[in-house]
A and B are shown apart, each in its own frame.
Chain A
């Protein structure tokens, strides 16, 4: 898992935002995507999900988050002074924050603009609103998971209560969306980055002791996300099995 320290030991000047912004426009398509990630990272999972759904390959540089705490060591801090995973490198561009990485990948590689609907101001705004909500989930359910699974400090009872407050909001939204015939967080036929960003820490919530029993519409939405083409699981996330439309034509004759 570790042993890749050399890869992330980068000249800090290259990682400087100013430099990156200056060069971002000119990144060749041939430049490799390099994702600094940790297998069990919920925010890293968001990026892995989108990469897979867009059919993109990225070089994975494993950062030993636990127990090595490589994300707090100089080499990684040079890349992301916040010490947070994941980080995407593309040519000279160094991007931290999963939301920024999602927006970059969708904006650059999703020609149809389905994941990041910039043509539509309302849908873009709603996508951003739910991207921010995903951070609320990271700070509550995700944090509870770090306490339970990775021995971080924190008041797990309070974190769980906070997570349930957030999940109640999500549930109400999704329940009424279902009633209106909508499948995704942002109105429209196709899912957006909002669904990917919110999915990760919802699907992992039980590892932090946050049960999803009280959120039936959210559980159904998780099934829908899990059935999207290109979906990949991670440890702790269970894909739902084929949906009714995907299964081969039923081999059961009509009983009547």
Chain B
């Protein structure tokens, strides 16, 4: 066998295309490394390290739900294509850090086989197999090193193990999969007779007979090789470097550059509601990179992205993505009469094919999946985040309802996503303020344990919903809400002192500057998104001192605790604050 380092840069067949049936997790092994292979409902074939990042349990005993792979042990969910963790049941109120991502391996589907290379560089190419070899034989695992198997096999037909193939090949071609140092899987391709004659049934019978004949031949070979007395001791099992379980698992999301926009997204589809006020936009990775190569970072339900518009504005849009959907982002943009250039630019200028810069999805509006019953109340364009939650809850088989309020019936958006959810969605159009309150109160009802409500919409709707919920006995922690923005103007009057506990820095936030900008000026990299206290991205833990909350995303209890603040708008009541930075 060639050197291990070279072998790791080579494509080997590790499964047949037909092995990856729907909702199944296939167990594969290559050069000592165990892999979990699974095909999502969209047809994409994933090859991942066969261990959950949490406790190392094999993902091959997990559940393929068609869009995500769920670990059997504690239910961690990983997204199709990206392998990012999208949900941790033990932390139902938090979105997993983006750094929690399983290791993916490149996989190519060709000749009816799935080919994997541990480290595929651009120079690595698939073997040049002539057309017509489409009939994959039953794989025969042999408990012997590759060299021994190749030697025995070469008597039966050409063996492809990286070297160029002979000019002419008969009816069979053997391929070897080095599963481990002393475990080799023989995979063979036969020239299929399908469609060779007009008698389809006869061709299939011929194919089957050929498969059976070769299968018997290989079984005999396997027995001979495994019991060969001349064989020396088998080499020891290959040691694979286990992927590092990230220390960041329990840590906050890595703090990237301020308002970083690493994604380049192309507009793939544009739709408008009947009245033209809502523009639905599908954003896909740049056309140069196919979706297979560059899936988008996974979005958990409730997540939003920053879009950087060519006119220099940065705006936040919630994603209406289906669970596990990583080939595109769907946003909804409401045209605002008082637009400051964000929504009007998108409505008037955006065309299919345009490319926009965007942040990775962020989440300050995480969906719990341990509720006995979840109520979603959307006002207007607030439907985008809640549509994503509704699809997730529906897919997971949870109890939920969505109440969708809009000014008029021709304003209902995202109907392609909401339609299949049927009568779990109640559409209410053109209600008066009083009628809206009656409808919300009817949906809320009295609070029972482990019921949760999510509100997203205009400030008036959220305030009314929170007040009604409080009156009906709902505790703060069961009422989740996300504002589009902060109605209050940014106020930066008055300076204060800040101590940074981790970095040992001491700095002053002067009159006229936000805490966020003061931190950045002193070299503390801080993430931010809306910069008006609505999204929760720039949240900081407060260790000492009394914050002056100016945001709209903390609830009363969180405000009263005073243990965190939104650095983009909030300031200090006490002369000094100590932050966990």
Contacts and interface: CB of A to CB of B under 8 A. Distances in A.
Contact of B322 (A175, A214, A253): A253
Contact of B63 (A178, A180, A241, A244): A241
Contacts of A216: 15, 19, 26-27, 139
A244 B23 contact: yes
A219 B141 contact: no
Contact of B23 (A179, A242, A248): A242
Interface in B1-49: 15, 18-19, 21-24, 26-27, 29, 34, 41-42
A249 B65 CA distance: 13
Given A172-B138, A223-B23, A253 B63 contact: no
Nearest to B330: A253
A12 to B, nearest CB: 44
Contacts of B211: 176, 179
B65 A241 contact: yes
B540 to A, nearest CB: 37
Interface stretch (B230-238, B416-424, B565-573): B416-424
B322 A252 contact: yes
A247 interface: yes
B394 interface: yes
B23 A241 contact: yes
B67 interface: yes
A113 interface: no
B467 to A, nearest CB: 32
A220 B24 contact: yes
Interface residues of chain A: helix, strand, loop or mixed (majority): loop
Contact of A253 (B22, B67, B141, B416): B416
30 contacts: A172-B215, A172-B219, A175-B138, A179-B211, A180-B208, A212-B27, A213-B29, A216-B19, A216-B26, A216-B139, A219-B24, A220-B19, A220-B21, A223-B23, A223-B24, A238-B61, A240-B23, A241-B64, A241-B65, A241-B70, A244-B23, A244-B41, A244-B66, A247-B23, A248-B394, A248-B395, A251-B394, A252-B391, A253-B322, A255-B42
B63 A240 contact: yes
A146 B64 CA distance: 31
Interface residues of chain B: helix, strand, loop or mixed (majority): mixed
A119 interface: no
Contacts of A253: 322, 416-417, 420
A243 interface: yes
B482 interface: no
A244 B63 CA distance: 12
A247 B391 CA distance: 13
A250 B139 contact: no
Nearest to A250: B41
Interface in A183-236: 212-214, 216, 219-220, 223
Nearest to A219: B27
A255 B328 contact: yes
B394 A255 contact: no
B108 to A, nearest CB: 19
Contacts of A255: 42, 325, 327-328
Interface string B323-355: 001011000000000000000000000000000
Interface string B471-494: 000000000000000000000000
A244 B22 contact: yes
A242 B24 CA distance: 10
Nearest to B207: A179
Contacts of B23: 223, 240-244, 247
